[in-house]
Amino acid sequence: MSAVEAVFVLLSLVALGSALLVVTTSNLVHAALWLVVTLGAVAGLYLVLAAEFVAWVQVLIYVGAVVVLLLFALMLTRAPTGHTDDLTVRRALPAAIVAGLVALLLAVTVVAGFSDVRIDLDETVVGSAETTGRTVFTMWVLPFEVLSVLLLAALVGAIALSKREAT
C-alpha cells in the first residue's frame, strides 16, 4: 500500500467514525462539531482523489457556511446544551435495520461491480481552480446560471419564510 492509499484509509476511518458519532451522540452541539470533523475528513478525501477545487469549496461552504447555519438553527430553536436524553427515537432498531440493509446493498453492488477497476492517481488531471473554472464556464455554464437563480430563489424563500408576522 502506497502512502496515498494509507492516507486515504486513515481519512476514511476518521470520516466514518465521526459520522457515526454525529448520528449517535446525545449532545446536540457535539453532533454539529462531529459533523465538522466529518466534512473536513471528506474534504481530505477529495484532495487525495485530486479534486482540489472541490475540496476547498467543501471546506468553505460546508464547514464554513452550512455548519454555521446549523449551529445558528440550534441556537434559535433553544437547543439544550449538554447531554439530552431523547435525541434518538426509543426504538431505533428498525432504522438501524434499514440503514444496515442499504449499506449491505450498496456495498455488495459496488464491490461486486467494480472489484477489478483501479484509479490511476498518477494520470489524473488535478482539479485545480483553473481547470475547474474553465470547464464550468465553458461547458457547464447553463447549469451554473440556473444554479445561481436557484440560490437566489432559496435566499428569497428563506427570507420570506422566516419573516415575522407584523403583530
Interacting residues with other proteins between 74 and 93 (CB under 8 A) = 74, 76-80, 86-89, 92
- How far apart CA 21 and CA 30 sit, in angstroms, is 9
> Closest separation between CB of residue 45 and other proteins, Å?
6
CB of 54 to other proteins, least distance (A): 5
Give yes or no for residue 109 binding other proteins (CB under 8 A).
Answer: yes
Q: How far is the CB of 82 from other proteins (least distance, A)?
A: 13
- Residue numbers 117-136 binding other proteins by CB under 8 A: 117-121, 123-125, 127, 131-132, 135-136
- The cell numbers describing 110, all together, are 459496488
The set of residues, in sequence order, having a beta carbon less than 8 Å from that of 48 and lying 6+ positions away, is 4, 7, 8, 11, 121
Q: Which three cell numbers stand for residue 161?
A: 419564510
> What b/e readout covers 56-83, taking b as 16+ CB neighbours within 10 angstroms?
ebbbeebbeeebeeebeebeeeebeeee
Residues contacting other proteins: total by CB under 8 A: 91
Using left for φ > 0, alpha for ψ between -120 and 50, and beta otherwise, residue 118 falls in beta
From candidates 3, 122, 142, 162, binder to other proteins by CB under 8 A: 162
CB of 102 to other proteins, least distance (A): 5
Options 83, 129, 139, 145; binder of other proteins; rule CB under 8 A: 139
CA angle 89, 91, 95 (to 5 degrees): 80
Contact code string over 24-43 relative to other proteins, x by CB under 8 A: ----x--xx--x--xx--x-
Nearest CB to other proteins, comparing residues 83 and 92 = 92
Phi, psi (degrees; rounded to nearest 5) at 132: -65, -45
Q: How far is the CB of 126 from other proteins (least distance, A)?
A: 10
